[in-house]
Structure formats: structure tokens, C-alpha cells
Structure 1
Amino acid sequence: MSARPAPLTQVRIDDAFWTPRIQQVREVMLPHMLAQFGSVGHLEALSGTWSRKGSPHIFWDSDIGKWIEAASNVLATGPDAALAAQIEELVDLLEGAQQPDGYLNSFFTTTAPELRFTDLRDSHELYCAGHLIEGAVAHAQATGRERLLGIVIRYVDLIGRTFGPDEGQIRGYDGHQEIELALVKLWRHTGEHRFLDLARFFVDERGAEPSFFDLEVAARGGPGHFGLGFPGTKTELETNHEYFQSHAPIRQQTAVVGHAVRAMYFLSAVADLALADRDESLAAANRELWETVTSRRMYVTGGLGSSAENEGFTSDFDLPNLTSYAETCAAIGLVLWAERNARLDLDSGYFDIAERALYNSVLAGVSADGSDFFYDNPLASDGSRVRSSWFGVACCPPNLARLLTSLGGFVYSVGNADTDGVEVITVNLLVGSSLRFESGGANVELRLRSELPWEGRASFEVRIEGADALEFELRLRVPDWADELQISAGAAPVPFELRGGHAIIRRPFSDGDRFEVHVPFAARLERADPRVEAAAGRVAIVRGPLVYAAEATDNVHPLDDVPVPMTSPLEAHDGRVHPSGPVTILTADLDADTTLTLVPYFSWGNRAPGEMRVWLPVSTSSSARRTR
């Protein structure tokens, strides 16, 4: 079966948990970011009127692209004249900044136009291009307008003439992957195979010998934009090809290494190409890398990257808590990769990981009021970690915005059965929403109501216009945290087939059909692999898709002195008032006078600063479930 994310124009999110967060993107995050673009200098650089000290930042165009993508995702769900006008103003700036040959990069055009495409390792030219491509595709899909799409296609055609295996072309790739997956999106939207061919070239060329980055340094005669290392790091970029995942061709790589965000974007493109080309060698390498990172190098929150030194991976089972990096963008990248893998292998287990990252490491990246952000997401804090309103490198805020506003494309996948072409709808996440689609001349709306993440109850209703009944296949992911799965219509159980981690219902559906889904869960204790030294003798508390944390503001004693009790069960208290909205907290009595209180990890850091711990000490007699 071929599957694709449901178009955002066909999905409406209507969910007590997620709808306020998506509205917050529109009402708080997008205006906040646009104001930052004006005050920090993004818009001035793009307008060609730069007059400030120093030079623009090399990443800034990518922030613009992500903002346009997020805003376009909002437009996909309904009209918003003010937001549409703001996008058009940015398109005006991009159109004005584009050079006669199609080149579009505010940093090089403003600072050193003669040096373009000479520092691919450090200067993020193609990374910025990738985010502009994604923004343009999202805008065209949401509005039907193609002015921005035309601008980026002119740029992509220049890139296609410049890079490739032929004589006179640059046989290289960008230091920060992103354009690869963006080109696949552009191919899917336009059907133009030259974009897919270019994506394939960039993926296959990375890691070939001799090293492109070594040749580039030699040709340039000196270090690139960041010298021998990024500010604040000790990474020696001249010799560390693992940092860029360029140490070996993709089919020869056996571990996910280097910078975590780059790795996730790269592997998302690898999965894209395995799908597009039906390339089993690429798919096999992709599966092996997925297994190594999720079983050996991932935090219980779905966070990735154990070291700030390289913003990425170190060695297997090296997962410190207080100094963990776990960049928000890396967790977002993991969600992107997982979604593609789920379509590649039709296995629900990928969305178990995506859901864990989404509800925990991703959501922790933004404050309850939507105005402050974590760049990195530690699993422990001494009280000094607080969110910031902006960063010198501000990749995470617009990345959060574009992911949250594209949630509908993760909730549902759509496709057709290979045997008879029957419509197949896969529900990856139990998020309150509706999906509209057409099949057999009939218009169908699938309505989903959900009580997650607080309770394991959901319901479906089918509405059909233009037919008395319609056969289609509904696949419901069975979450790994569910104690069981029950599907019923009234008092009668609904039969289903269990395959690939999905409960599959294939039958003729009638207008008004309703059924309920019950996936009960309770708080549970998870142990890390014993090789994770930082979690030795400790447990994490998980309830449904949520990881929980202890904060000093709720607890009397130092958190490392608070053992999780095994004789007293964790009790859930629903609807407790919190800056993050009504939340379910967990409590357990330590003794007659002391109670341990836990809050969802995503909500930490929104009250008085203080200690925080995810992994808590436990008595040796405890019984806990091993985590991934």
C-alpha cells in the first residue's frame, strides 16, 4: 500500500489538548517571531538595506522559510486575511532579493556575493534554500498561489545547474542537510523529476571519497565561516566528518553520529528516497540506523543528542541528564523521520517513538504562554535552566511553529490498497479532529474525538454524502503504552484484524456509524538499559504518552533524596490548575508527612525556578518496566 500524509486542507484539529496550542502559534508565536525578525535584522538583510554593524546571520533565511511554512499551514485550515498579507510582504522581499540568475541568499548577497557556493560546509546556503522550498510548497498547497513557488524553483534550477556529477558542476553537498527532503516535497508537489534527481544526488554523494569538504577547504585555502569549530564548542570541523554524516556513504553507515538535527533531516530524506525509488538497499540502511538510535542513543522523552559540544551524539548509552542537550529541533526531526518510516514499512512502532517525542521533548521546547523557548531540553536541572524569548541561532521557535501547525498530516495517512484500490485511512495519533476525503463519488468525513493524553478513550463517527454506504479500510495504531485495545459500537464489540501494530477494520461504512475506542493505561515505572550509567538505580514515570518529572516547587526534599515508593501506588489527579492548562498530576505518599508530586515533563519550568528530575532514585526492591 502506498500512503501519504493527509493534506492539511482536508484535516481540522478539534482537540481539547492540541487546539489551544495550535491557536497559540497563530496568536502568540507567529507575531512574536515576526517582531523578532524586524528587530534582530532578518527583514533588513532580506530587503538589501543592511546598515547595521557586522553582517547578517548565515541562518536567517531559513527562519523566514519556516515562518512562511507555519503561517501557510494556518491558512490551509481557513482564511486569515492579515496573515496572508504578512506572507505576501515576505514574498515581496524574497522576490526583490533574488538575483538575475535565480540566486537567493541574504547573507551572501549582502556580505560577499563573490563567495557564494564556496563554503558549503559551514555557511548553510542549501539548508536555507531547503526551508524556503518547504515554505513555498506549503504556501502553494494552502492557497493555490504560486508566486513564491516560482521564486524558489528559479533558485532550485540554478542549484541544479551548479551541483551534480557532470564536468563543470560542483560535486558536493551542504554541511547542514535540509534541501534533500525539501526537494522531495517539491517533486511530489510539481511532479518534476529533476527535483527528485537532485535530492538523490545530494544523498548519494555525501560520504564519497575524496571528501568534498576536504577538497573545498583546500580550494578555499583556509577555514570556513566557523573556522575550526563552532562558537562554544571544541569540535574540530576540519577532520570530523562524522559531525556532518559525511564519513561514509549512507548505505555503509551503521550508527547515527554527529550533529543530531543534521542527522534527522538527512535520514528523513533517506526514507523519502527509499519510498520514492522503492530502493530496498536504502530502506535497509535506514532501518538499521533507526534501530541503533532509538535503542541506544535516545532519551526516554524522545530527545536526541547527549552533548552540547557537538549538539549531537557521542557513544551508545551515553545519556547524561543534567548536561543532556536534546535540542528541540532534533526531536522535531525525529518526528519527521518517524512519519516517513511509518509509511515506508507500514509499522505503527515508528509512531510510538514519534508520539513520545511530540508530547515530551518537542512540547517542552515552548513555554505555557508561547513566548519563551528551550533550545535544549535537559532531563534534570539544578534550577538554573530557564526558557528564552529568542536566541542568536533561533532555529527552534519557527520549527516548533511549523510542526504544530502541520499536526493534521501526522494524525492521518491516506492511501489505497494495492489489491483493489480501496481507500485506506490510517490513524497514527488519537487527536481530536476530522478528515474529509472523496471516494467512489461520495464525500466522507471521519470525525475523531479523543480524551488523550489524560485518558485512553476516543470515538469515531462516519458521515457520508452521495452514497448509502461506502467500503474503506480504517487502520488504528495500537499504542505501545496501552494495556489493551477495545473497539465497540454500543455494547457490541467491533471485530478487527491486528497487523503491523494496527487494528484494521475493513467493511462497508454507513452514514452515522459510530464506534468507541478504549486504550486504557496507568502510570508505570520505566528503567533504562543497565548500560546507561546516568539512570542507574533510577526510574522514569510514564503515563500514556506522557513522561513525568518532579519539580522542586511541588516537593519539599532535594529531588535526588526522594526515592519513588514501590509499596504505595502512584495516584492520578485530573484537571489540576497549571500554567500549561488543566493537567493530570501524579502523587505518591513517601511517608505520613511527605508526598511526591509529579507533573508532565512538557510543563516543567513554567513556575518558580528550581530543581527538576525525570529519572528518580528507587528502592532496590522495585519492579519497573524496561524502556527502549
Structure 2
Amino acid sequence: MTSTKINQNSLKNVRITDNFWSQWINTISKKTIPYQWKALNDEIPEAPPSHSVENFRIAAGISDGEFHGMPFQDSDVAKWIEAASYSLFHHPDKSLEEKIDQLVDLIEKAQQDDGYINTYYTVAKPDERWTDFSHGHELYCAGHLIEAAVAYYEATGKDKLVKIVSRFVEYIDSMFGPEDFKRKVYPGHEEIELALFRLFKVTGNEKCVNLSSFFLRERGTQPSFLLEEKTLIGERDRWFGLDYHQAHAPITEQTTAHGHSVRAMYLYSGMADLALETGDKEIINVLKELWTDVTNKKMYITAGIGSQGHGERFTFPFDLPNDVAYAETCASIGLMFWAKRMLEIENNRDYADVLETALYNGVLSGISIEGTKYFYVNPLEVVPSAVEHRFDHKHVEPERVSWFGCACCPPNIARLITSLGQYIYTITDDKVNVHLYMGNETKFEVSGQMVHLIQKTNYPSCGEVVFEVTPDYPVNFDLSLRLPSWCQNYQVVVNEELVDLELGSDGYITITREWKKGDRVVLNLSIEVEKVRANPFVRENAGKIAIKRGPVVYCLEQIDNGPLLSNIFIPRDEKPTISEFSTNKVEIQFLGVRVDETKWSGKLYSSEEEALKEITVKAVPYWFWGNRQTKEEMLVWIKEI
């Protein structure tokens, strides 16, 4: 297996210049991160209280009071540190860095003498450490704190938090492992597994690899210790059994996705890290089977996953209801984590296509364009009156909200967008793979030479992507460009000469040459509007289409099309028109028809043929919905006539 050189440290070498994504990064850095800091300190009156920072003050003995929030409240602080650290790559900010320093000092004060860090069990349940692996989230919180430490070290070179979490890892390692004197357990909510691999890359401490490997390989051994925990409610609620925790079988026997979707994504990411480190082909083959199961049978067109609200979980193949879809923002983020690691295992456009779909749809829909309102769940159809009155819609929000009592998604999306640079490329000894098209400048070593690469594009509004290649000295390497599966026609021009290149079995177009200063590649992708249909086993979408343009899924909103969106039909042969109404925001219009509701006055049922009237149907990007009018209808899957 060829080692991948691009890793977390590469974020320092990638400067995103893209019109679309640089705006988002600016918004996250300048608005979202300060806003979230206020939310974590309970300084936003309309937001549910967080108490996250205050919990650390209490645990440190600085404040008096009681713990408030979820058992995993610490993880919100950790993810905020990670997001804020990544933002420093893009926008150095001395005052923000000082704020993180002060928070690190606070975490150090809250750390117990033995290295343990967790405010819930330190303040609220000091005598109940390590008694609730199902839902206690101690190892989950530890994982996020480890990731925060790594991000802050990479952004600033300061290793204080790395030392703090390393003490914590030493303590955890003394408690759990394969040795006879240690406990044979694993976390209910996966996260520490992938975090330990990140810490290993910084510290070189082999204990991190060994501990993560233990947690992964111990998972699912039977009889499971989880069955003995009083908080595992599998006997009373079948949706919270061992499969909810991905603990129903060892990881090498799990070939179909089950349970809590975010937990599953973090598990599969940790498994991929282990496979990357060890070359374990059995785990790689299992991951491929899991990938097929998730993306071909259990994933929404928006790359949302986890269709059932109860248990935030997978159900059965093709069970993808639209109006009660859960599709948690964190789950799509986790899917991106997993896809990135699969691309490091092998170059395959299937992984990059899903990664991109999640980014532009299932993830970006989770935050408002001003950066301070959020969706936890991402349904594909919203009728506000149903949300208000139906119990089975109680998890659906008809508009983004300022914060959540369980606030995992807001800081998660902030850390994802500020770290986008690490998702664009993977680089091996003699090959540069381009997975995402977004304007950026980067430097990397390939074939023993440093190369400066500039990518320019207005993708996905248009399909032209320009690469300017400037090596220090002439150098031979492969430049592989992903051809998205939705693209039917493309051209590659090298130094103003059209070249005929075959598409590889991995879905990438590879240019092999000796690269010299001033070389220029232009990739032209044909981006057309598609009418997409669902597998007939997806019962909810029979006779319906979804509209896509490139990686972007579209939806109808009431503000453009009036109420009762379910009464709108698009003729099978109708051709669309497109117009750009803002940077990288393209509106699509069709000539359609809708039921004339005025003919139904005073009737509940009728045998008369429905009266239809012509209308102009307007569709906007799914991620954009709810940014103009609130508490109005939205619809992705549209009836076809």
C-alpha cells in the first residue's frame, strides 16, 4: 500500500481562494465561531442554555454550582476549539488564540490528579466513572478533546493541550486493554478510535494505535458487557439494542450498517484509520461492503443518512421517508470523514462523489447563510402544519434555530468547513489525486520535488477548472482528475492543446508528463440539469423526480411556488432554464402544472377529473432552503406527469 503524504498537516499548505467556499470560511471564522463561543457561555438570550464552559469552571474549582446539560456537554467545547483552531489557518486572530489559550488553561485546571477529564462525572457523578459506556460518553468526549488538541497544535505549534490529553490517554490506557488486569470494554459512542490515530501522527506514541485497535477489535465480542449496563434499554426498546451501538458483532463481521448513524460513521472512520495503519485487507473488504450498503441502499439523494428519528438510526434498505427523515447534519459530516479515509485507502470516485454530495447538500443545509442558525435534522419535505401537530414529526424543525440543548451539530459543521483544505487532494509518492474542485493554492512534495499548484474555478456554477502547475524543477508525476459520475461529457486541455485521455477504472482522468513551470491544464466538465429517479423500492418516491445540477440537489420552496407543493407536477419532456441569482447559487425553472385547488372548495373527495393549470416551477439549491422565508413548505421529490 502506498502511503499518503497529505494528512492533517497539509491544511497549512492549502489556501482556499474559491469565491463560494472562501465566503463560507469567512462567515464561519468571523460570525459563527464568535457566536458559538457566546452560546457555550450562555450569552445568547434566545438560545437554550449550554453551560459548557461553566461546567469546566465548576470542575476546576473556580466556580460553584451544579453541572448542566447532556453527559457529553464537554464535546461542544472541544469541537469549538477545533473549529477555532482551523479558522486560524485562514484568518490569524491573536485575540481568538488567546481565548483558546485561556480555555486550555481552564481544561488543565479541570483535569484530575490521575489525568481524567470529564466535567459531568467530575461534578455531577464523581462516584460513577466508567459505569455507563452505553450513554455516558466519557470516551467520546475524550476523543473530541484529543482532536481539539491536535488541531490547536497544528495551527499554533502550542503543545500544552496535547500534553494534557496525552496524560488522559495514559490514564485510559491504564484502565482498558487486552491485558489481564485491564477492563475489556469499548465506547458506546465511537469517536476516540479515530482521534487516537490523529494523536499518534503528532506524538508518535504507539499506545495510541494499540489502544484504538483494542477498542475497535473488542467491539462486538459476545456476550457483550453492554447488556449488563442498567442504561442499555434494549430489552424495553428494540431500537436501542446492541446493533444501535454497532456492538452486535465483531467489526470484521459487520457488512451492513445498523444503529445510530453518527456512531456508525465514526466507527467506520476509525476502522479505515486502522486499515491505513496496518494494511488489514479483511477490514478494507468489510469497509467496502459497508460502503455499498450505506450508499446504495440507505442514503438520501442529499447524502443524508439515518432515516429514523427514534434512535437517530438506520432502519432497513430503501426506507427513506422524506417528511420524517432524520438525516442528522453530524451524520453527513461523519460520512465525509469516512469517505476521505476511503480515498486514502484507494482512489475511487465513488467515495469522492459521495463526499462532495454530502458537502453541498447534507452538510451545508445544516447552517444558515449568516452562520448563526442551524438544522439538526435535514428532511426532504417540510409541511409546517404537520410539524406543529403530528407527533411523528416532532424532531423536524420548519426553520433553523439559534442553538440546541443537544448541540453537537453546530460546532461540528464549523470544524468541517474550516478544515475543507484537507479534503481536496490525496498525494502519494508520484501521483496527485484531485477529489474536489474548488479554488485554492497549495504546495506539496511529489516525486521528490516541491510543486506549487493553483486551482481556479467557479464550480459548481460552471464546469471549467483551471490548474496552474509550477514545480521547483521539472518533475514527472501523474495528475489525476475526478470525473464526477453525473458528468457525461468532458474535455482536457494541456497547454492549449486538446488531449484525448481515457477514463480510468477508478473514475479519474490521469495526465502523465514531465511538469514544468507554467504548465496549465483546463478541465471542462459538462454540468447539465438532471431529473433523477429513485429505486422503485423507495416507496415514497414512486412517480417522482428530484432535480440535480452537478453535485447540487434542488428543492421547491413555498416562497417561489406557493403552498401545497405536493400538488405540483413537472412534465416528463419539459426542459429547464437556469439563471445564477448569486455567487454559485443557480435557480432552475421548469414549465409545470399544478392542481387547481380552487375547484375543490367544499369537497373532501370527488370522482371528477382534476383540473390542472400551467405554472412556472422554480427550484433552488437544497442547502439554501429556509434562508429567505421561515416556516414555509419545502419539497425535494416532485411528481412527474
Residue of structure 2 in register with 1:448 after alignment:
455
Matches within 5 A, 1:124-523: 124-215=137-228, 217=229, 223-224=230-231, 228=233, 235=237, 240-383=241-384, 384=387, 385-416=398-429, 422=430, 424-438=431-445, 442-465=449-472, 467=473, 469-489=474-494, 491-496=496-501, 498-499=503-504, 500-523=506-529
Residue of structure 2 in register with 1:573 after alignment:
579
**Distance change in 2, residues 1:57/1:280 (3 Å):** same
TM-score computed with the length of structure 1 as normaliser: 0.92
2:608 corresponds to 1:587: no
Q: Which secondary structure does the structure 1 equivalent of 2:523 belong to?
A: strand
TM-score computed with the length of structure 2 as normaliser: 0.90
Segment drifting more, 290-299 vs 554-563: 554-563
Alpha-carbon separation, structure 1, partners of 2:34 and 2:507: 40
1:50–1:110 contact (8 Å) kept in structure 2: no
2:22 corresponds to 1:15: no
**Distance change in 2, residues 1:97/1:336 (3 Å):** same
- Structure 1 residue 142: Cα displacement: 1.7
1:302–1:331 contact (8 Å) kept in structure 2: yes
Deviation track 1:458-483 (CA, whole Å, cap 9, x = no partner) reads: 10111234x2x222221111111112
One-letter code aligned to 2:592: L
Q: Which secondary structure does the structure 1 equivalent of 2:344 belong to?
A: helix
Q: Which secondary structure does the structure 2 equivalent of 1:157 belong to?
A: helix
Segment drifting more, 52-61 vs 581-590: 52-61
- Structure 1 residue 56: Cα displacement: 4.3
Q: Which secondary structure does the structure 1 equivalent of 2:79 belong to?
A: helix
- Structure 1 residue 53: Cα displacement: 5.5
**Distance change in 2, residues 1:148/1:187 (3 Å):** same
Alpha-carbon separation, structure 1, partners of 2:277 and 2:105: 34
Alpha-carbon separation, structure 1, partners of 2:280 and 2:51: 43
One-letter code aligned to 1:415: T
Q: Which secondary structure does the structure 2 equivalent of 1:113 belong to?
A: coil
Q: Which secondary structure does the structure 1 equivalent of 2:302 belong to?
A: coil
2:614 corresponds to 1:604: no
Aligned residues: 595
Alpha-carbon separation, structure 2, partners of 1:36 and 1:236: 35
Alpha-carbon separation, structure 2, partners of 1:25 and 1:55: 27
Alpha-carbon separation, structure 1, partners of 2:186 and 2:329: 25
Deviation track 1:428-457 (CA, whole Å, cap 9, x = no partner) reads: 101110111245775421000011111111
- Structure 1 residue 158: Cα displacement: 0.6
For structure 2, the residue ranges without an aligned partner over 5 or more in a row are 43-49, 388-397, 594-612
Deviation track 1:564-604 (CA, whole Å, cap 9, x = no partner) reads: 12232011112x15xxx561100011268510000000000
2:255–2:287 contact (8 Å) kept in structure 1: no
One-letter code aligned to 1:29: T
**Distance change in 2, residues 1:365/1:41 (3 Å):** same
2:51 corresponds to 1:38: no
2:67–2:123 contact (8 Å) kept in structure 1: no
1:235–1:310 contact (8 Å) kept in structure 2: no
**Distance change in 2, residues 1:235/1:377 (3 Å):** farther
One-letter code aligned to 1:569: K
For structure 1, the residue ranges without an aligned partner over 5 or more in a row are 218-222, 417-421, 620-628
Q: Which secondary structure does the structure 2 equivalent of 1:122 belong to?
A: coil
1:4–1:343 contact (8 Å) kept in structure 2: no
Alpha-carbon separation, structure 1, partners of 2:5 and 2:638: 40
Residue of structure 2 in register with 1:626 after alignment:
none
Deviation track 1:522-552 (CA, whole Å, cap 9, x = no partner) reads: 1011111100011111111110010000011
Q: Which secondary structure does the structure 1 equivalent of 2:135 belong to?
A: helix
- Structure 1 residue 111: Cα displacement: 1.4
Residue of structure 1 in register with 2:29 after alignment:
26
Segment drifting more, 44-53 vs 267-276: 44-53
Residue of structure 2 in register with 1:617 after alignment:
639
Alpha-carbon separation, structure 1, partners of 2:382 and 2:409: 20
**Distance change in 2, residues 1:573/1:55 (3 Å):** closer
Q: Which secondary structure does the structure 1 equivalent of 2:503 belong to?
A: strand
Segment drifting more, 171-180 vs 430-439: 430-439
Query: RMSD between aligned alpha carbons?
Result: 1.8
Residue of structure 1 in register with 2:535 after alignment:
529
1:101–1:158 contact (8 Å) kept in structure 2: yes
Alpha-carbon separation, structure 1, partners of 2:69 and 2:375: 23
Q: Which secondary structure does the structure 1 equivalent of 2:127 belong to?
A: helix
2:364–2:623 contact (8 Å) kept in structure 1: yes
Q: Which secondary structure does the structure 1 equivalent of 2:122 belong to?
A: helix
2:558 corresponds to 1:552: yes
2:455–2:467 contact (8 Å) kept in structure 1: yes
Deviation track 1:264-311 (CA, whole Å, cap 9, x = no partner) reads: 000011111111111011111111111011111000000001110110
Segment drifting more, 47-56 vs 307-316: 47-56
Alpha-carbon separation, structure 2, partners of 1:558 and 1:429: 37
Alpha-carbon separation, structure 2, partners of 1:460 and 1:570: 31
